[in-house]
Chain A
């Protein structure tokens, strides 16, 4: 499945095969998966449970490796990297937004956002300035010292997004980012993702069950039984 807008894809999967061993049996998730996504795209991936959405997202994040095939992101062959290289790649090239925010409860909003910057050679002042800047960008200026437990779900997800973008990665992976939010908060978060895609040119891959959420993407892929069954351009 290729992106119709860009002949040189930012994400390029060719002949991906992935399976899991359960006891003596191997359950195949992907037999021969191809996918190409252009840089700066906002792609939603939908599909029923067990279709392989999470496995695909994990592979794009470098958390899991394919059994076979080529997995290239931004010119880097992730399928050829060891775990340490993939971890280092994640620190500089990818941000992840989770369904349940996954903020550390003992850290303030600013400290949660600052976490990925601890891996970069920045001074304390530079880290603080960048943290304040992204918190301002997601509309949480003035809430730097607030703890996640004192925030609403929508606010926590904004902190999660700020954490994902603070190291300025090219790729944002979102795993059901609105799955735990009410409609209003979900729309705000999706609008923010749209803004990051349009204004900051982030390539976004979002896994979702929510058709309304998928409408914010400019490309929607339906995954079923390890294959892309349908593709459409969203409004």
Chain B
């Protein structure tokens, strides 16, 4: 027998209680894993870039900017390359199946963030072969079951064609993979010239200009320079990095990070109270045995480590189970919800498992450590 086996046997002396505690811990870490994955995922901003700037209307992203700003933005010192985008938001099939199409100048997009999106010259060439062609991100293609050459009918929520019809038909020219797992590929890339010519309203406007600063250029200084240039114009701008934009976009609805922190904090506080309460009672039931162990020569620190070992094992078992379920959930719902259970999330979860395991075991362990043998023997 080893100390580990002794601890293990102590845990399983009341199997139902241990199972319920493990489930309790696993649910808390499932919540943590999913919420942290959301923050770390593509719906959050971890996969977005701090190096690419977006220029939007200072009145908000629903207010378009004139395409005529392009030459002035392009000529701003420090700008290496610029493209522009207009969004076509709608659904495919049912209204719940929401998809987005970003209409742009494909060649300019390739120059700016072709690497991040996994675009190649061949893909962009295929897109340029016909005006109604699109490129589809891997996550979206997998989720919808789309393949190259397939026709896709998108019903726009707002953007109507010149004949008033909101149905747009496209042909899939290729699939882009994204640079890595955290890259958002749940969208389509189309041609701006086609969208601009076919739509009924907002002609020659864009939702945003996307630019890459030159080497060594401070993105903050460049953003300030562009906004200053248009400050007193008819179209004042707000320039942000892609990362800042996504964070600000999410904050339009709510401070997602704060909500997640509150949900995780509440679940962990509840968990802490439940486990501490249960462990205090579990150890109190064994007060006599703790006296016996001390009589056999087990020191106060050995007793402390035994009790802490029990809570740590329960947290490890429950935490690993919860994170495994979160990983499974992120894998299943990942493309649609942008869940990425990254190594950083796992490392933080492991630190939480250890921290909470020690914190919850501290009170019962300290009680067990302190009780005198004679007092322990009187409990029988």
Residue numbers of A with Cβ under 8 A of B are: 58, 61, 63-64, 83-84, 87-88, 90-92, 96, 100, 102, 104-107, 110-111, 114-116, 118-119, 124, 127, 163, 167
Distance (Å) between the CB of A226 and the closest chain B CB?
Answer: 18
**A119 touching B295, Cβ below 8 Å:** no
Digit string of B1-39 for contact with A (CB within 8 Å is 1, else 0)? 111011001101100000000000000000000000000
**A102 touching B292, Cβ below 8 Å:** yes
**B298 touching A87, Cβ below 8 Å:** yes
Complex Cα distance, B289 from A83, in Å, reads 18
Given contacts A107-B9, A124-B2, 6 further A-B contacts (CB under 8 A): A87-B297, A87-B300, A90-B296, A91-B297, A96-B296, A119-B297
Decide if B180 is an interface residue (CB 8 Å cutoff).
no
Complex Cα distance, B373 from A163, in Å, reads 18
Digit string of B296-315 for contact with A (CB within 8 Å is 1, else 0)? 11111010000000000000
Residue numbers of B with Cβ under 8 A of A are: 1-3, 5-6, 9-10, 12-13, 288-289, 292-300, 302, 373-374, 380
A-B contact count (CB 8 A): 63
**B10 touching A106, Cβ below 8 Å:** yes
**B298 touching A119, Cβ below 8 Å:** yes
**B300 touching A84, Cβ below 8 Å:** yes
**B299 touching A87, Cβ below 8 Å:** yes
* Nearest CB in chain A to that of B13: its residue: A106
**B300 touching A118, Cβ below 8 Å:** no
* Nearest CB in chain A to that of B291: its residue: A63
* Nearest CB in chain B to that of A95: its residue: B296
Interface-central residue, B1, B9, B288, B294, by most chain A CB under 10 Å: B1
Q: Which residues on the A side are within 8 Å of B288 (C-beta)?
A: 102
Complex Cα distance, B293 from A116, in Å, reads 9
* Nearest CB in chain B to that of A105: its residue: B13
Q: Which residues on the B side are within 8 Å of A84 (C-beta)?
A: 299-300
User: Which A-B residue pairs are the 7 nearest by beta carbons?
Assistant: A91-B297, A63-B373, A106-B13, A90-B297, A111-B1, A106-B9, A114-B1
Complex Cα distance, B302 from A58, in Å, reads 21
Interface-central residue, B5, B288, B298, by most chain A CB under 10 Å: B298
**B292 touching A63, Cβ below 8 Å:** no
Complex Cα distance, B227 from A148, in Å, reads 81
**B374 touching A116, Cβ below 8 Å:** no
Interface-central residue, A110, A114, A115, by most chain B CB under 10 Å: A115
Q: Which residues on the A side are within 8 Å of B5 (C-beta)?
A: 111
Complex Cα distance, B155 from A47, in Å, reads 97
Contact with B295, one of A61, A88, A104, A114 (Cβ below 8 angstroms): A61
Q: Give me 6 A-to-B residue pairs in the complex whose CB atoms sit less than 8 angstroms apart, sorted by A's number.
A: A87-B294, A92-B297, A102-B292, A106-B13, A116-B297, A119-B296
* Nearest CB in chain A to that of B289: its residue: A104
Q: Which residues on the B side are within 8 Å of A124 (C-beta)?
A: 2
Complex Cα distance, B295 from A167, in Å, reads 13
**B2 touching A116, Cβ below 8 Å:** no
Complex Cα distance, B97 from A204, in Å, reads 83
Q: Which residues on the B side are within 8 Å of A115 (C-beta)?
A: 1, 6, 293, 296
Q: Which residues on the B side are within 8 Å of A91 (C-beta)?
A: 296-298
Given contacts A63-B374, A64-B374, is CB(A88)–CB(B1) below 8 Å? no
